[in-house]
């Protein structure tokens, strides 16, 4: 499964590359267990109810994919259809049974969800991390196989360094991914949770949080920071943060200065050095 990840999910659907022993058949819903490798933790209940109503009227147009688990089955692909079918009180659901290893099952479940592009940033980050660990891939290799940019993968995975409570705020959409990345720029990681709570309480946007993080890091009086700033420097700092996926500070003194780029691990340093090269 390490090769051609992007194509793997397409082979699961009816009429496409089914082997002689793979046919669509009716499976008792009570015999199907949820996928233990499902990356999605949050399901839109309103959307599930809407899908259930559609299933009542039109039936299930696309079979789920399962694998045998003793006398029962484990769901591989089609979690939303499975949940909606239970809401619609169906007793059976069309499915395709495939022989899959645990690793293959995990990969396909993650790939299906990534292709739908509606995971939360934290769910997406966890999915990337699981794929890299299961396939022994670097961020760059995973980005190539999924057709995404290296910074996209790196920016998501870095969110996993946030405290659990802060990650939950992002999953609950109380904080954005941009907020999360900016919070990681705090030099004192112990201050992340209380700063995150302040962002939620005061409704700070990402730019306001960037200014707050800078004040905290420099530990200078508020009135000093609130003096007129060099807008050009601020814009360039923002551009560099987006480019490198980490906190960047430009410190200017008259006509000279320095650029500080933060990294959080040896791999993160290698990633930044590759971008510089």
**Which residues form the catalytic set?**
79
Q: For residue 250, give Cα distances in angstroms to 49, 195, 234, 239, 243.
A: 50, 22, 8, 11, 14
Quick one: which of 170, 141, 134 has its CA closest to 267? 141
């Amino acid at each position: 499964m390490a090769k051609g990840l992007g194509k793997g999910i397409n082979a699961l659907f009816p009429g496409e590359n089914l082997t002689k022993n793979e046919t669509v058949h009716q499976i008792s819903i009570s015999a199907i267990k949820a996928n233990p490798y499902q990356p999605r933790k949050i399901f839109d209940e309103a959307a599930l109810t809407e899908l259930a109503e559609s299933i009542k009227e039109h039936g299930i147009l696309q079979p789920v994919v399962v694998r045998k688990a003793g006398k029962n089955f484990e769901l591989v692909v089609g979690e939303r259809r499975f949940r909606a079918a239970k809401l619609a009180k169906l007793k059976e659901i069309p499915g395709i049974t495939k022989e899959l290893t645990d690793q293959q099952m995990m990969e396909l479940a993650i790939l299906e969800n990534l292709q739908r592009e509606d995971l939360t940033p934290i769910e997406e980050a966890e999915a990337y991390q699981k794929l890299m660990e299961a396939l022994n891939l670097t961020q760059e290799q995973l980005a190539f196989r999924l057709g995404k940019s290296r910074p996209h993968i790196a920016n998501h995975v870095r969110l996993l360094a946030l405290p659990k409570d802060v990650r939950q705020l992002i999953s609950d959409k109380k904080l954005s991914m941009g907020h999360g990345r900016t919070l990681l720029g705090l030099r004192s990681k112990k201050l992340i949770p209380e700063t995150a709570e302040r962002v939620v309480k005061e409704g700070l946007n990402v730019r306001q949080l960037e200014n707050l993080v800078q004040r905290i890091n420099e530990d200078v009086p508020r009135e000093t920071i609130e003096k007129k700033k060099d807008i050009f420097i601020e814009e360039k700092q923002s551009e560099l943060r987006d480019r490198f996926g980490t906190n960047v500070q430009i410190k200017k003194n008259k006509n000279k200065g320095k650029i500080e780029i933060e990294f959080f691990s040896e791999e993160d340093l290698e990633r930044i050095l590759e971008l510089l090269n």
